[in-house]
Structure 1
Amino acid sequence: MMQQYLKEMEQDPYDPDEFVERMAYRVFGNSANDDNTVVDDLQDTFVQAIKDLKFLQERQKRKCEKLEQDCREKESLYLSQIQNRQDHNKAGILIFQNLDERINYVATKVIHVGNQLESINTPRSRTVQVHKLIGYLEEFMSAGPLTSIVFNDPTKIDEAADIIQKLFPIALELSPGKFEEAKMKIIKKYDEIEISLIEEFIKNHSQKNLTRMKEIAAILNHFKGYSQCVDAFIENSQANSLSGKNLFSEIIPVCEYNLKIIESVFINPDQIMAKFVLNIYQLKLQNHIISILSDVKDTASYLEKLSQLYKKTTILSKHFSSLNLGHDDMFLNKMQTNIFQKYLDTYFVSELKNLKDNLLIILQKFYASKGHTRKQFQAGGFQELRRDLQTVISTRTNFNIMHIEDYGGETFLSENVAIAFLQEFNQSLERCCTLSTSNNIPSNCYQIFEVLTMYLIEDFVDYGIELAVQSVPIPEAKTHEPPSIIFFEVVKQVHRIIVLYENQFSETLVPLIM
């Protein structure tokens, strides 16, 4: 039963009331009999259960005490072990500090000895190098060809370059006369090695051998022909890639690709990249622009091409600036100005002439479509005097001595013509803002607007109004014909055109000139 009690009490959750109920159920079972015999059995069961539980309690208590004793013993053991480890750790730290101090002391001594050895060895090394140079100089002074393997073996060109670039300044200091032959031999060999290095650099560039290219560039950096190596690299890099019609779209990828090579090969990548970009602007881009503009025959296409090329170049310069490809904004602006300056000097004269020609063509086409030839009206009051005399005579005599031309009800005004004028004006204005300097934009835009005013208002609208006024019938004494209302149609069209003109002035021109 004690195992049964343990099992029931270890249940989670434990309910003592339920435990008692189960014990009573075991005595009563399903019987409803409550005689004294059953009650006595229940009492005996509870008394025995209490004894068993007390026994279990004592046993469990002894187990707990034993476990607690074991824990205290282990705790004491572990504390002792930890203390030993800490003592060992402190001892190790002291040993490490002593060892570190010893190592620093020895290192100081080693550095001191090394400096002393270097101070002794450096003069010796220089003496050895000078001795070797004297030997090579003696070989150049002797008659006949060079016999040293260094100058005859192509695989030893790096060593030969190091020797010749040291002998070259010595040769320049040699006095003429008996040393002239040796001097010329050194200069000739210097040029041969320099050319060989440049050729090998180009060869390795084609093979994309960046390691060897870097070695050669470092050697040529001490030669006077280093710039030739840079020029050869730039020319070879741009030879096959920047030659097509898609020049503007190819430039940035080519520069980004070659920037990585320049940074890996040359010791002064910023200057090399600046020269790379300069060559693009002064050679590739300038020749491309000259080629395009020289093929354009008419002024309108020339102005449109010029504006497009200038915009593309400006965008290109902004991309260069954002990518920081070895230059600054002033450098880019100066190169762009140098390319376009000769075109910009004469641009605005061509712009005004082109605008005038286009507006005149629009007018001529419009009048030709109406079968009308422009008339020249007499200035002053003579025309008005004729109309006044005609009015008096017609009123008194009912006789019309002056024919009134109404042009079949045609007004000779059109909103489509005005819109065409404004489209030409906007195109000229856009090119003006692109190709003019910031200081000249207000005055140039105003001159373009004056051209628009002359052709739209003075030559087109005023002319249409004058024709409408001349077509107004003279009042007659007796007439059965309905009055002509063409003049009112003209007024309506003039109003619409003036509204377009005014909107163009306030929305487009004013922000540019204010």
Structure 2
Amino acid sequence: MNFGGWKLKPFTALTCQESFSPEDFVERLAWRSLGGNMDPETFDPSVLQEAFKQGIRDLQLLFEMTQKKCERLEMICREEETRHCQKVSELQDKNKASYATYKELDAQIGYVAMKVVHLGDLLESVNTPRSRAVEAQKLMKHFAEFLGPPEQQHGLASASVLHDPNKVRMASTLYLSRTLFSVLHRFSLRGLMHRNFWQSQSCHFWKQHYLVSLSSRVTQLAWTLSLTRGYSTCVDTFIDQSQMGAFLKKDLFADIVPLCERCEQIIEEVFTNPEQVMCKFVCNIYNGKLQFCLKIVLANLVCIDEFLISVLYKNTFCRTMQLSADLSKFKMGSDPAFLKKLTRQIFSKHLDPYLSIETHYLKDKCTSVLNRYYDSRNHHKRQFQFGGRDLQARLGGRSNINIAPTVENFGGETFLSEEVAINLLQESKLAFQRCQLLSKPTELPKSVAQLFEILLNSLCIEHMHYALEIGLRAIPVSDPKAEPEIYFFDTVRQCNSIFQLLEKQFNNSVAPLLLSTPEHSLCLQKKRDLTEQMEIKMDTGLDRSLAAVIGWVRGLLLAEQKKTDFKPEVEDVIETTKVALKVVKYLTKCIDKIRDSLDGTNVDAVLLELGMRFHRTIYEHIQTFQYSTVGE
């Protein structure tokens, strides 16, 4: 079907789009009806009117077709809904029937179970008196042995049980019987004689056969003794005999794991509670040989450094922790922290004063590193008085009296060393590692915070802040008479490098130990405060450095620049003056140093400030000069 040159399909495609716009549709229809000719002189409104009418008819027809399609789809949906409702109703009926069947089966099962329980009670009521009668008969025979004279016991059946070493297991069972025990308690002397007899016989037999070989007889005796007090003697004998001649090497730690591996198999085969026996075996090694070795090693100490570094951390505690990790593969009860507790138990006497020893050791190390560095520079640290320098400089500039502070640049020495910073950070890193291993988990955050405070004091205050103070006092006054040499830029560069190293160590060594603790925020705040103090000093130093640079440029221009330099005798020939060349050369050197010392946005900020001050100085300076018509 054709409607004025338009087909119905494009209408459908256009109107079904999500981004359909009626305005765009009308514009497109008008453009097509006019053939793209939008010239006002040749415009024919009748053609456009006819196109709009035809478009309205086409849209009306499309609407009717779409409405019929929707009605058909709605009818299909209603039919599908009806079928689904019928199916759901059928499933509900089946579910009700299944539930009724389930209830019926449950009732039948309950009835059968009741009958079975009743039948079991009847059988038990018949069997229990018989078994009790048999046990009573056996008990009466054993009573006859205890109550009768010794010459009549040889004919009794129980005599072979209580006096035969090969039947000690049966005797132990009889001994632990509650009924028999109550009778033996009446005749305590005779019962004690029999009990001591078979216990001593069993223990003696077990010791002899264990030293010779392992057999089922040894295992049976161990099981028998587990019912009596002699079992602990059996375990102690095994532990003592197993360790005899086992520690022959100088390195005690190298013998412990192989010994435990050999004994584990024996313990599994012989004893009824292998986990408890293995636990006691390891505990005996720790509290015996290992602790004795620790006492010998610590008795030969001569200084705290040796105790902290060489012995406690490297040679003893670390190796003990590694030993505990190696022994964790053995089954020793349900406590996963048993070996850690055992390790801390034998080291508790030496770990209690650890933090005080560590803090003194770290302070001494940091002080030694700093003193060694300053001694190599032949420098003695000074005590500075803060404030007053700027006021003295201004008063000295306004008056003819020289009251400005003496500037001492120490030959360009910044008294900052990345090597010193690395040594301090390395010492503190080792201290953090020792603290993580040797401190109690509950005391670890506070201990790490104290060590970090020592690091901040040594590195930031004693080294970096001191160097910044020296750098500030080495900056020339704002109106120098000679070309100023600015060393403060080197100080800023080294401070930035050292602070990056400090930040890296904090993230790698300190922060993981303080996560989710109040000490983490406290350490961050201390580091932030020291950083802000250093930034204030660096800002002050940079401002003074720029003032010195611009002051020298201003003084040089006033002293050496002639007012006729920009109005030469020959108008066509204007050369750069010597003063300008000197200023440009000096500023170029300063700019290169700034770019080398600073990074990021700091370079742009300092160069912008330098440019603004230089522009102001040049602008004020050139206003006092005469110029040629072709002058710059």
TM over 0.5: yes
The alignment status of 1:427 with 2:440, answered yes or no, reads: no
Q: Is the 8 A contact 2:416 2:494 kept in 1?
A: yes
1:225 & 1:487 partners in 2: Cα distance? 83
Distance (Å, rounded) in 2 between the aligned partners of 1:446 and 1:116 = 75
SS in 2 for 1:329: coil
Match of 1:460 among 454, 460, 463: 463
Counterpart AA for 1:131? A
Gap change, CA 1:330 and 1:415, over 3 Å in 2: closer
Contact 2:223 2:271 in 1 (8 A): yes
Cα 1:134–1:209 change in 2 (3 A) is farther
Do 1:217 and 1:265's aligned partners in 2 also have CA atoms closer than 8 Å?
yes
Alpha-carbon distance between aligned partners in 2 of 1:136 and 1:366, rounded to the nearest angstrom: 97
Whole-angstrom distance in 1 between the partners of 2:514 and 2:168: 68
TM-score normalised by the chain length of structure 1: 0.61
Aligned counterparts, 1:255-274, within 5 A: 255-274=260-279
**Within 5 A, what are the aligned runs for 1:273-292?**
273-292=278-297
Please give the alpha-carbon distance, in whole angstroms, between the structure 2 residues aligned to 1:467 and 1:274: 63
Cα distance in 2, alignment partners of residues 270 and 476 from structure 1: 85
Q: Which has the higher contact order (CA 8 A, sep 6+)?
A: 1
Deviation of the 1:412 alpha carbon: 1.5
Q: Report the AA paired with residue 279 of structure 2.
A: A
Is 2:369 aligned against 1:356? no
The separation in 1 between residues aligned to 2:193 and 2:146, in whole angstroms, is 17
The 8 Å contact of residues 395 and 403 in structure 2, kept in 1 or not, is answered as: no
**Alignment counterpart, residue 306 of structure 1, candidates 312, 316, 319:** 312
The answer on 1:487 being equivalent to 2:488 is yes
The structural deviation recorded for 1:427 is: 0.8
CA offsets 1:40-72 (integer angstroms, 9 cap, x no match):
xxxxxxxxxxxxxxxxxxxxxxxxxxxxxxxxx
Q: Distance in 1 between matches of 2:150 and 2:368?
A: 82
Structure 2: 5+ residue runs without aligned partners? 1-127, 154-158, 516-632
- Give the drift of 1:192: 6.9
Counting matched residue pairs gives 375
Match of residue 144, structure 2, among 121, 131, 135: 131
Deviations 1:128-150 (A, max 9, x none): 4443444576899xxxxxxxx99
Where does 1:54-65 land on structure 2 (aligned, <5 Å)? none
Q: How does 1:52-451 map to 2 (within 5 A)?
A: 126-135=139-148, 157-158=165-166, 166=175, 172-174=185-187, 183=189, 187=192, 194-195=199-200, 197-242=202-247, 245-304=250-309, 305-308=311-314, 309-378=316-385, 380-382=386-388, 396=400, 403-451=406-454
**1:413 to partner: Cα distance:** 1.2
Quick check: 1:391–1:475 contact (8 Å CA) kept in 2?
no
Distance 1:427 1:136, change over 3 A: farther
Contact 2:389 2:404 in 1 (8 A): no
Change in 2 beyond 3 A, CA 1:159/1:484: same
| Partner AA of 2:417 in structure 1 | S
One-letter amino acid of the structure 1 residue matched with residue 144 of structure 2 = H
* Alpha-carbon displacement from aligned partner over 1:338-387 (angstroms, at most 9, x marks no partner): 33444444333332222212111111111122222211122x43566555
Structure 2 residue identity aligned to 1:485: I
- The offset of 1:231, in angstroms, is 1.2
Aligned residue for 2:373, secondary structure, equals: helix
Matched with 2:523 is none
C-alpha distance in 2 between matches for 1:314 and 1:218: 35
Q: How far apart in 2 are the matches of 1:193 and 1:119?
A: 27
User: Given that residues 391 and 474 in structure 1 are in contact (C-alpha distance below 8 angstroms), is that contact kept between their aligned partners in structure 2?
Assistant: no
2: CA distance between counterparts of 1:298 and 1:330?
32
- Aligned partners of 2:229, 2:331: CA distance in 1, in Å? 29
Percentage of pairs with the same residue: 31
Does residue 1:498 correspond to 2:505, yes or no?
A: no
Say whether the 8 Å CA contact 1:352–1:448 is kept in structure 2. yes
1:367 aligned partner, one-letter code? Y
Post-superposition offset of 1:307: 3.9
* Letter in structure 2 aligned against 1:468: G
Structure 1 residue 496, shift from structure 2 partner: 1.6
**How far apart are 1:269 and its partner, in Å?**
2.4
Q: Quote the offset at 1:254 in angstroms.
A: 1.9
TM-score (norm 2): 0.50
Q: Distance between the aligned counterparts of 2:184 and 2:318, measured in 1?
A: 54
Amino acid at match of 2:260: C
Give the distance between the partners of 1:392 and 1:406, measured in 2 at CA: 25
Q: Report the Cα offset of residue 169 of structure 1.
A: 7.8
The residue aligned with 2:592 is none
Aligned residue identity for 1:265: V
Residue 262 of structure 1 and its aligned partner are, at CA, apart by: 1.7
Please say if residues 206 and 221 of structure 2, whose CA atoms lie closer than 8 Å, have aligned partners that are also in contact: yes
Residue type of the alignment partner of 1:491: V
Distance 2:502 2:367 in 1: 18
Deviation, structure 1 residue 261: 1.2
Task: State the distance in 1 between where 2:481 and 2:283 align.
Answer: 86
Say whether the 8 Å CA contact 1:321–1:328 is kept in structure 2.
no
Matched letter for residue 426 of structure 1: K
Contact 2:168–2:202 (Cα < 8 Å) also in 1: no
